[in-house]
Amino acid sequence: MREANKAIIRERHLLPTVEELIHDLNHASVFSKLDLRAGYHQLELQEPSRYITTFSTHMGLFRYKRLNFGISSASEIFQETIRCVIQNVQNAKNISDDIIIYGKSQEEHDEALNDTLQALQRNGLTVNKAKCEFNKSKVTFFGVVFSKEGISPDPSKVKAVKDATPPTTVPELRSFLGMTNYSSRFIRNYASICEPLRRLTRHNMDWEWTPEQQNAFDNLKTELSSETVITYFNPSLQTDIYVDASPVGLGAIISQNQKTIAYASRALTDVESRYSQTEREALAIVWACEHFDIFIRGAKNVNIITDHKPLERIWQKAKIPLRIERWGLRLQPYKLTIKYQPGRDNPADYMSRHPIAMCSKTRSHEEKVAEQYVNFIANQAIPKAMSLSEVKGASLTDRTLQKSY
C-alpha cells in the first residue's frame, strides 16, 4: 500500500487518549470491556475503492473487500466509525477496537452495556467473546487498571519491567526507558531516577554501565513494582497545581485534597534556559496549565502554587515584559488564583531540577501555530504610532490648530 498511501487523502479524526478516559471514568465502580472481532475487517470497502488494494500472489491477483491493515487512514476511519456507532451511549468509550463500558452503579453499567451491544448489532459489528470482560470491579484498558479507587499500572507491564535484564546496548536501554515511560505517571520523581540512564542515550556518549546506572535501573523496577494507585480527578473539589522552574527544567504536580492526580516535568530548550528566573517561573505556570488542560478547563477552583513570590501579582501590573504578557493571554481560558509557597514546601521543586528530557528540541506544528496566533493577537493589541507626515497632514486640516497659527 505504499504507493496507494501517497495518493490517499487521509481523513483526519482526533484519536482519544488514556488521559481523557481517566477523566471520564471518575466515580465509576463497575466495568466491562469489549473487543471487536477482526478489527478493521469488519468495515466493508466500497466497490470503487477495492481495486486500490490489489496484491499479487503465486495464485494470481487478489483484492480486499474489507478495510485492510496498511492503509494510512485505516486507524482513523475505524476509530471514528466505532465512535459514531456508540456515541449515543453515555457510559461507553472506545480506543480503536476496544470498548470500555462503565457505571457508577450496577444499574447504570448494565444499561450502558445493553445499549452498546444493541448499537453494535444494529450496525452488523461482532465482538470476540473470548477477549471480552463483563461486570468487573476493575479492568485493564490500554496499559492502565481502572477501579473504583483510582488507576494503577497494568500488572503485565509491571512484570515485563520487573523481569527485564540490564541492557547492554543503547537501543536496548531506549526500549526499557520507553517501557517505563508509559507508566511514568505512577512514579514520583521519575525524571530524576532515570537521569543516569538517559545520559547514556545522548549523542556521542560512550557506553559505560556503572553502579550509578545499575542503581537507577533497580530503582525504576522497584518503584514501578510497588502498589501505586492514583486517584481520579473530581471537578467539584478544590484543585491545586504545584509548579516550579529551575535552570534546567519545569515541574508540575496536580492534586486534590493532598492526593496526587498526576506528575509532569520536562526539560527546557536552549532558548528557554536563557530566560530570566521570573520568565522561567511564568513559563512553568503556562506549561502546567496547558499540560493539565483536560482537568482544569472550565474548573472554578484552581490554585497555582509557586515558590516565586513576584508571580503572585505580576499579571495585575500595568507594565510587564512582553513575553510574559503574551503568556498571560494563553492563561485567559482558565480561572486561576496564583499563591506563593516557599520552595522547601513545594513538591514540584525537585521535579523541575530533575526533569524528563524531551525527545526532541523541536516544537510540534500545533505549538508553532498556537504561538503565531498569540503573537498575532498581541501585535494587534499594540497601538500603531502615526508617521510624521500623517501628523503634518492632520494638523493642516484641523480647525482648532489652524486658529492657533
Mean pLDDT rounded to a whole number for the chain:
82
The 3-state DSSP class for residue 67 equals: coil
167-213 confidence digits (pLDDT tens): 999 988 988 888 887 777 777 667 767 878 888 888 888 888 999 99
Cα distance between residue 305 and residue 311, in whole Å: 10
Higher pLDDT, 29 or 402: 29
pTM beyond cutoff 0.85 = no
Higher pLDDT, 296 or 226: 296
pLDDT of residue 368: 59
> Tell me: domain 152-225, CATH 3.10.450, correct?
no
2-147 and 152-225: same fold?
yes
| Domain locations in the chain as residue ranges | 2-147, 152-225, 239-353
Cα distance between residue 233 and residue 256, in whole Å: 8
Residues contacting 231, CB < 8 A, separation 6+? 149, 150, 256, 259, 260, 261
Domain 239-353 fold is Nucleotidyltransferase; domain 5 (3.30.420)
pLDDT of residue 362: 43
Higher pLDDT, 379 or 51: 51
4-43 confidence digits (pLDDT tens): 788 787 777 777 788 778 878 888 899 999 999 888 888 8
Cα distance between residue 221 and residue 177, in whole Å: 11
DSSP states of 195-237 as a string? HHHHHTTSTTPPP---HHHHHHHHHHHHHHHS---BPPP-TTS
pLDDT of residue 359: 39
Q: In what order do the strands lie in the sheet with 133-136?
A: 92-95, 98-103, 30-35, 133-136
Higher pLDDT, 163 or 358: 163
Query: Which of 29-33, 189-193, 277-281, 311-315 shows the lowest mean pLDDT across its residues?
Result: 189-193
- 356: pLDDT confidence band, cut at 50, 70 and 90? low
The 3-state DSSP class for residue 265 equals: strand
pLDDT of residue 105: 92
- 123: pLDDT confidence band, cut at 50, 70 and 90? very high
Percentage of residues in the chain with pLDDT exceeding 90? 20
- 317: pLDDT confidence band, cut at 50, 70 and 90? confident
pLDDT of residue 358: 46
pLDDT of residue 384: 60
- 224: pLDDT confidence band, cut at 50, 70 and 90? confident
pLDDT surpassing 50 at residue 361: no
Q: At how many degrees (to 10) do helices 277-291 and 322-330 cross? A: 10
CATH of span 2-147:
3.30.70.270
Cα distance between residue 46 and residue 41, in whole Å: 13
58-103 confidence digits (pLDDT tens): 888 998 888 888 887 888 888 889 999 999 998 999 988 889 999 9
